[in-house]
Amino acid sequence: MSTEVKIPPVGESITSGVLSGWLKQNGDAVKDGEPIFSLETDKISTEVPSPASGTLQIMVAAGEEVKIGQIVAMIDSVGSASKSEPKEVAPEATDIPSPKTGKEAQQEPALTPAVRRLVAEEKIPLAEVTGTGKHGQVTKEDLINYLERPAQKETEDLASEASAKGEPKPALKTVPVPESKAADASASVSTNGRSVRRKMSPLRKKIAAQLVMAQQNAAMLTTFNECDMSAVMHLRSSYQEAFQKRHGTKLGFMSFFIKAVVDALHLVTAMNARIDGDDLVENHYYDIGVAVGTERGLVVPVVRDADKKSFAELENSVGAFAAKARDGKLQLDELTGGVFTITNGGIYGSLLSTPILNPPQSGILGMHKIQERPVAIGGKIEIRPMMYLALSYDHRVVDGKEAVTFLVRVKECIEDSTRLLLQG
What phi and psi, each to the nearest 5 degrees, are found at residue 328?
70, 35
Measured CA to CA, the distance from residue 321 to residue 310 in angstroms comes to 17
The amino acid sitting at 209 is A
Q: CA angle, corner 162, sides to 160 and 164, nearest 5? A: 70
| Beta carbons within 10 angstroms of residue 38's beta carbon | 26
Residue 360: cis peptide before it, omega within 30 degrees of 0: yes
Measured CA to CA, the distance from residue 336 to residue 302 in angstroms comes to 7
Catalytic residue among 95, 305, 395, 416: 395
Dihedral of alpha carbons 286, 287, 291, 297, sign: negative
CB–CB of 368/352 below 8 Å? yes
User: Has 399 been annotated as catalytic?
Assistant: yes
Measured CA to CA, the distance from residue 365 to residue 363 in angstroms comes to 7
DSSP string covering 247-281, please?
A: HSS---SHHHHHHHHHHHHHH-GGGGEEEETTEEE
What's the 3-state SS for 26-93?
A: CCCEECCCCEEEEEECCCCEEEEECCCCEEEEECCCCCCEEECCCEEEEEECCCCCCCCCCCCCCHHH
Catalytic residue among 95, 157, 305, 399: 399
CA 126 to chain centre: 25
Catalytic positions, please? 395, 399
